[in-house]
Chain A
Amino acid sequence: MGVLRIILQIVGIVVLILAVTIITLRIDNQDADGPSILFPGGKLVSGELYAGFEPDWSFTDEVQTIELQLVNPLSSRTIFIMESDGKVYIPSGYMRSTLGRIWKDWAFQADEGDGLAVARINGVRYERQLIRVKEGPVLDGIVAKMATKYNPGATPATPEAIKAGRESIEVGNTWIFEMAPRGAQLDEN
């Protein structure tokens, strides 16, 4: 009985440390000007707000992660970015797993809501609209860019890697959003 009590107390301390750590990080970040590595932040406030013609997004090839804020609900997170064929996209993986659903709740909110977002890239804020891309030949270019950019060993992306990545998107394991100009509609293709 005494040994069981000690074991339960140790387990309790470990669980307490994990819970307090997560809660502290979450609360500490929730109103910050941008996200931390893992935990959502608040509204993106600092940085010039971009105005003008659609940028040449190829500069994002040199950018590993961006800060993305949804307008509703208002929260921000750190995320990958890929440019393909002049347009810019963001991924959300692990969407069919339980942990992924908890971790990537923003993707569900963007897909089900209005998709209005602000992206901060190299300190400049861009007002965008997230439009989920589920299928179409456009996926090949996106998957190829994702594979070469975030898996350098796969340069250039093999047809097998592109096929596997595309299947992952089409079955809903990975979600892709186009960061389109505000008010844009998904191209039919």
Chain B
Amino acid sequence: MKTKNYLILCATVTVAVVLGVLYVPGLSDTIEQVMLVFLATNAR
């Protein structure tokens, strides 16, 4: 992928992730629970 297209993809992904985390019901809780399990497993 050319640099210009890649940067457009990055910008699109960024906007999609922000909107998803903020507005999709339950998504942020699910992500945080997965992160909590990851930390509890790997922070030893």
A81 smallest CB distance to B (angstroms) = 17
Q: Known A12-B10, A20-B18, A25-B21; judge A99-B32 contact (CB<8 A).
A: no
- Please give, as numbers and ranges, the residues of chain B lying within 8 Å of A6 by CB-CB distance: 1
Query: Which residue in A20, A25, A94, A100 is a CB contact (below 8 Å) of B32?
Result: A25
Q: Known A24-B21, A36-B28, A38-B36; judge A17-B13 contact (CB<8 A).
A: yes
- Please give, as numbers and ranges, the residues of chain A lying within 8 Å of B8 by CB-CB distance: none
A115 to B5, CA, bound (A): 51
Q: Known A21-B17, A24-B18; judge A39-B32 contact (CB<8 A).
A: yes
Is A61 among interface residues, defined by CB-CB distance under 8 A?
Answer: no
A21 to B29, CA, bound (A): 12
Interface of A is mostly: helix
Report how many residues on chain A are interfacial, defined by Cβ distance under 8 Å.
Answer: 22
A24 to B17, CA, bound (A): 9
- B11-27 interface code vs A (CB 8 A; 1 in, 0 out): 00110011001100000
Q: Is the CB of A99 within 8 A of B13?
A: no
- Please give, as numbers and ranges, the residues of chain A lying within 8 Å of B14 by CB-CB distance: 16, 20
Is A9 among interface residues, defined by CB-CB distance under 8 A?
Answer: yes
- Please give, as numbers and ranges, the residues of chain A lying within 8 Å of B17 by CB-CB distance: 17, 20-21, 24
Extra inter-chain contacts (11) besides given A17-B17, A37-B36, A103-B39, CB under 8 Å: A5-B1, A20-B14, A20-B17, A20-B18, A24-B17, A24-B18, A36-B28, A37-B29, A38-B35, A97-B44, A100-B43
Chain B residues within CB distance 8 Å of chain A: 1, 6, 9-10, 13-14, 17-18, 21-22, 28-29, 31-33, 35-36, 39, 42-44
Q: Would you mind naming 9 contact pairs between A and B with Cβ atoms under 8 Å apart?
A: A13-B9, A16-B10, A20-B14, A20-B18, A24-B17, A25-B28, A25-B32, A97-B44, A99-B43
